[in-house]
């Protein structure tokens, strides 16, 4: 049994190959260069390389070359593409190129590189669909182009863009969920939200959807673990109260939805305390009792 310098053994010879094969490695196979016959696959049985803790840490903190807003060129370091050290002449040259490159990056790009990680973090924490995140990025990008970030926090303007995207797509997330995860002021986010409504959404031909109590019933019903029977009956209860003269305009739809679910849960022995429902809906117990009283008055009418 003979083997060449590539590790191929003569007993692996296949039919159709020439008498004196010239074996070489090509695309993961042992191939005869005289006749082109393929002999066998190349199996790498070398031991796996173990990285040191210093190498692992260095790989983790390395900046990504690609970002979600497009490719970014990075000019830095003292090695070329093959990992060879640069000589002093080229090291000075690339240092100057890196300095010029950093000065050419616009404030628009820097702003987006700061905002994108925050957007992805909030998206994961509150479970936003991908389409909502894309709409939020689109709205925020337009706001940056209009220089609305001047004198405003990136995080508050980003939260306002996310809240706009949520309202546009008809997903009943409360503003408090966003501000708590982003750790920003709710009042400042509302001001930025109003600014986006006036100056950004008309340019993009987008309109926000105003939620009613039925939209919140679906959300609260799932969070409270109530049955579909409770959910359907709560919607029927609200529609029945409206038909008898109950006017929901001017009232927080979350309070109306919470009151309906509270009344129905008691009816079907799926009792939930007032505190549980109020914490879920982010309302006070006084508001809940007031809405229950108002709805009950209209249901008692003949």
In this prediction, residue 139 carries a pLDDT of 92
CATH fold for the domain made of 213-299: Cyclin A; domain 1 (1.10.472)
Taking the chain (302 residues) in runs of 10, the rounded mean pLDDT of each run is 52 66 73 73 68 69 46 65 79 78 70 85 86 90 88 89 89 82 88 90 85 81 84 86 80 85 85 85 86 82 56
The domain defined by 108-204 folds into: Cyclin A; domain 1 (1.10.472)
Q: Where are the domains of the chain?
A: 1-47, 68-105, 108-204, 213-299
Phi-psi sector, 147: left (phi>0), alpha (psi -120 to 50), beta: left
Entry pTM: 0.58
Same fold, 108-204 and 213-299: yes
């Amino acid at each position: 049994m003979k083997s060449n310098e590539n590790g191929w053994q003569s007993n692996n010879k296949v039919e159709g190959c020439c008498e004196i094969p010239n074996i070489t490695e090509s695309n993961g196979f042992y191939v005869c260069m005289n006749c082109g016959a393929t002999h066998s696959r190349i199996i790498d049985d070398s031991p796996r390389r173990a990285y040191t803790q210093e190498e692992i840490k260095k790989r983790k903190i390395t900046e990504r070359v690609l970002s979600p807003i497009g490719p970014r060129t990075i000019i830095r370091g003292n090695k070329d593409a093959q990992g060879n050290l640069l000589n002093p002449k080229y090291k000075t040259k690339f240092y100057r190129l890196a300095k010029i490159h950093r000065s050419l990056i616009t404030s628009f790009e820097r702003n987006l590189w700061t905002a994108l990680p925050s957007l992805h973090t909030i998206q994961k924490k509150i479970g936003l669909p991908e389409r909502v995140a894309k709409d939020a990025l689109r709205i925020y990008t337009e706001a940056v182009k209009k220089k609305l970030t001047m004198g405003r926090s990136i995080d508050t303007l980003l939260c306002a863009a996310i809240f706009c995207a949520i309202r546009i797509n008809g997903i009943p997330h409360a503003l408090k969920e966003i501000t708590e995860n982003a750790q920003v002021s709710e009042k400042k986010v509302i001001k930025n939200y109003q600014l986006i409504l006036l100056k950004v959404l008309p340019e993009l031909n987008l309109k926000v959807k105003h939620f009613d109590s039925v939209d919140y019933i679906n959300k609260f019903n799932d969070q409270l673990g109530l049955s579909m029977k409770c959910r359907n009956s709560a919607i029927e209860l609200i529609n029945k109260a409206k038909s008898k003269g109950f006017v929901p305009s001017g009232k927080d739809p979350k309070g109306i939805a919470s009151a309906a679910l509270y009344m129905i849960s008691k009816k079907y022995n799926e009792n939930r305390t007032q505190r549980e429902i109020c914490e879920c809906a982010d309302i006070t117990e006084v508001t809940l009792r007031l809405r229950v009283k108002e709805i009950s008055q209209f249901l008692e009418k003949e």
